[in-house]
Amino acid sequence: MAVSEQTIVTGAQLDTLAINTIRTLAIDAVQKANSGHPGAPMGLAPVAYTLWQQFLRYDPENPIWPNRDRFVLSAGHASMLLYAVLYLAGVRRVIGDSQITDELSVSLDEIKRFRQLDSRTPGHPESHITTGVETTTGPLGQGCGNSVGMAIAERWLAGTYNRPNFEIFNYNIWTICGDGDLMEGVSAEAASLAGHLKLSNLCWIYDNNKVTLDGPAHWSFSEDVMTRFVGYGWNVTRVSDANDLQMLARAFNTFLETQDKPTLIVVDSHIGYGSPHKHDSSEAHGEPLGEEEVRLTKRNYGWPEDAKFLVPEGVKEHFKEGIGKRGHDFRVQWEKLFAQYSKEYPDLAKQLQLMQNRKLPEGWDQNLPTFPADPKGAGTRESAGKVLNVLAQNIPWLVGGSADLGNSNKTTLKFEGAGNFAPGSYSGRNIHFGVREHAMGSAMNGMSVSKLRPFGGTFFNFSDYLRPTIRLAALMETPVIFVFTHDSIGLGEDGPTHQPIEQLPALRAIPNTLVLRPGDANEVVEAWKLAIQSSHGPALLVLTRQPVPTLDRTKYAPASGTAKGAYVLADAEGGKPAVILIGTGSEVSLCVEAYEKLKTEGIRARVVSMPSWELFEKQDTAYKNSVLPPEVAARVSVEMSDPLGWERYVGPKGQMVGMRTFGASAPWKDLQKHFGFTVDAVVAAARKAMSEAK
Ligand SMILES: Cc1ncc(C[n+]2csc(CCOP(=O)(O)OP(=O)(O)O)c2C)c(N)n1
Ligand SMILES: [Mg+2]
């Protein structure tokens, strides 16, 4: 069908016209940017079109309506597919957390600025930049993992807030993924979890185009995906031609009818559909078509060959009649229902409103413990578990669990009614993620963009297994909370496979990430308060297995100093120290002991507890200088970690007591001596620093 800018068409022709508009917008944007992936959007355009136009319960006029269906493009390299659809559907821009504007989220001008600085059309979809992008994708597999978290969130919201005759939540999560997504381990973990949890609100649409970047998929991928997913407990169906809109619709309906398991729809497609090139050969793709091929492809579509960014008349109107009208009606109906619900259940409605705006309920910090001085003390994981259990009673939507280490991480919610999140009892607050750290982190991001406050625990060393999800949380500005216990060689006998060495500096290097390593039980209370109040990025609690003394706060400074990242815990008389000992976590009390020893020897020392570098960096210079006076060059850092980065606080004359090798398997007390985390060693380092600084 040939079209010109003036052509007006109807029915099936209009479908084709809309689909080819998506394709050509992707082609033109990638060509103009001279970078990006046109092939996947060309192949997938009919899938996205049918889904949005006929199925997605989504109102472009209100893209933050809580009961909207979620669309996730896990194949984030196909970002132009999403941008084209957001534009054609007329999705509005939202600023801040909830202000809907009249502006388009993605305008045609933004599409023309694809991949340019400050555009709302970055190379891969970024949820904190572009309204309608529900989650940031690009690192393959993550969108799949996020979608499982979104499905958990929907089930939890429905289980917790729906009431008879008030089905406030019943939305679905639709995810487009490709070969790369399904090759990545995180999607396998996530699919296994979703199947186990029987998340029937979750649909993955697998773009089975048999090609990846390097060439044909069979070079590296030959498993039977359908059988694998059947094994996970998914409902699996197939569409043998991505261009067959009726078959697509039938498959989508099959998903909607399936009530007891997630659905995988395998869609056979052709990457770069319509281009004269054979993309399913070993030829590389993932780059612009080139001017000549653009022309030939447009000719194949019956498109004006020289037109660029052409949106034929009637296409936007067609979307308005489809998703626009359907979505509007659903949303308005829901708002009426919610208004009624708010009258019947004002407390629940209030909770939902707070949650949507990422606010904490009044009294969120009530009943938090204060821990009395105790030389024996407890592992900071123990006190953290107590604090979490209080916070979770105050904040009903604080939901989470552990990757099979709940008893070790002390992340289990034990109060009455907390319950387990499980098939058929979706209001439970404890999620058993299983031994699936990566899926846990990825799901937490999905839960967080769904406005729950997720927490997740594992051993600190295994933060490596989910590190990509921390990075994405930081990028997406999602407030997830990780509870990392067993935070150093202090874990003892489990040995070097389990003893984190380089994780602290590596995690401190991620921008917008709050790393908190509290030194005793009362710093734990403060650290948890900071984590829960942090609303635009991940917070990591780094906690010990072994006991640490609970410091006497009548003798030493109050733990409220935690909020500043670092504070003077114990000082030389008159505040003029000859040497400063800086410790974090379990090494704070070691510094205090060394300080007391130095005092008996007549050496004027100061102890700085530094639970968070990031918070300290946010303080003004006057405060920083008051804690670490520039004139005091004799400084010692003490941390059972690779000391990378401590140079910035101890300076060129300073000493760093840290780990330079892997740890070892032995009782903790023996490791302490072996690796030099003793009072004598810290005192010796202090003397050395003082002599260097002379
Ligand atoms: C974790 C990760 N590794 C590698 C890449 C780079 N990458 C982008 S697209 C792609 C190929 C993906 O193949 P497939 O998912 O089949 O997408 P198609 O080429 O079919 O669109 C790769 C390797 C990435 N984005 N994320
Ligand atoms: Mg592929």
Mean pLDDT of all residues belonging to the chain:
96
For 394-409, b/e burial (b = at least 16 CB within 10 A) is: bbbbbbbbbbbbbebb
- Please list all protein residues whose beta carbon sits less than 5 angstroms from ligand 2, which is an ion: 178-179, 209, 211
pLDDT band at 562 (very low <50, low <70, confident <90, very high): very high
Ligand 1 atom with the shortest distance to the CA of 39: 21
Question: Hey, what are 520's tokens?
Answer: 């005793």
Q: What percent of the chain has pLDDT over 90?
A: 95
Contact yes or no for 312/3 (Cβ under 8 A): yes
User: Which element (helix H / strand E) includes 374?
Assistant: strand 374-379
- In this structure, which residue's CA is closest to atom 9 in ligand 1? 77
When pLDDT is cut at 50, 70 and 90, the band that residue 278 belongs to is low
Q: Report the alpha-carbon distance of residue 234 to residue 411 in Å, rounded.
A: 29
Atom of ligand 1 nearest to the CA of 209: 20
Contacts of 402 (CB under 8 A, 6+ apart): 408, 409, 411, 412, 432, 433, 440, 456, 457, 458, 483
Can you give the pLDDT at residue 257?
98
Q: How far is the C-alpha of 496 from the C-alpha of 664, rounded, in Å?
A: 5
133 pLDDT exceeds 90?
yes
Residue nearest to atom 15 of ligand 1 (CA): 180
Cα separation, 83 vs 559, in Å, equals: 48
Say if residue 13's pLDDT is above 50: yes
How close is the Cα of 503 to the center of ligand 2, in Å?
34
Active-site position among 382, 437, 523, 614: 437
139 C-alpha to ligand 1 centroid (Å) = 8
Pocket of ligand 1 (CB under 6 A): 39-40, 75, 77, 138-140, 178-181, 209, 211-213, 271
User: Per-residue pLDDT tens for 293-346?
Assistant: 999 999 999 999 999 999 999 999 999 999 999 999 999 999 999 999 999 999
Q: Which atom of ligand 1 is nearest to the CA of 217?
A: 16
Question: CA-CA distance, 211 to 283, in Å (whole number)?
Answer: 10
Nearest C-alpha to atom 21 of ligand 1 is from which residue?
A: 40
pLDDT digits over 442-487, tens only? 999 999 999 999 999 999 999 999 999 999 999 999 999 999 999 9
pLDDT above 60: residue 6: no
Average pLDDT over residues 511-536: 98
Model confidence pLDDT, tens digit, residues 220-232: 999 999 999 999 9
Say what the pTM is: 0.97
pLDDT of residue 10: 57
The predicted pLDDT at position 312 comes to: 97
Residue 154 parent element (H or E): helix 142-161
User: C-alpha angle with apex 265: 259 to 269, nearest 5 degrees?
Assistant: 165
In whole angstroms, give the CA distance from residue 546 to residue 614.
Answer: 25
CB atoms within 10 A of CB 216: 14
The pLDDT, as a whole number, for residue 398 is 98
Q: What is the mean pLDDT of residues 103-129?
A: 98
The ligand that comes nearest to the alpha carbon of residue 214 is 1
Chain segment 638-691, per-residue pLDDT in tens:
999 999 999 999 999 999 999 999 999 999 999 999 999 999 999 999 999 999
- Assign 78 a pLDDT band (cuts: 50, 70, 90): very high
pLDDT tens per residue, range 355-396: 999 999 999 999 999 999 999 999 999 999 999 999 999 999
For the CA of 184, the closest atom of ligand 1 is 1
Averaged pLDDT for residues 546-563:
98
CA distances from 332 to 57, 375, 457, 490, 507 (A): 12, 61, 40, 57, 44
Segment 266-286 mean pLDDT: 77
- Alpha carbon of 30 to ligand 2 centroid (Å): 18
CA distance 287 to 28: 12
Mark whether 639 is an active-site residue. Answer: no
Distance of CA 160 to the CA centre of its chain: 23
Return the structure tokens found at 530.
Answer: 């900071």
* Closest-CA residue to 431 (of 148, 174, 186): 148
Q: Which ligand is nearest to the CA of 74?
A: 1
The DSSP call for residue 325 is H
| 217 Cα–ligand 2 center, Å | 7
Contact 588, 520 (CB under 8 A): yes
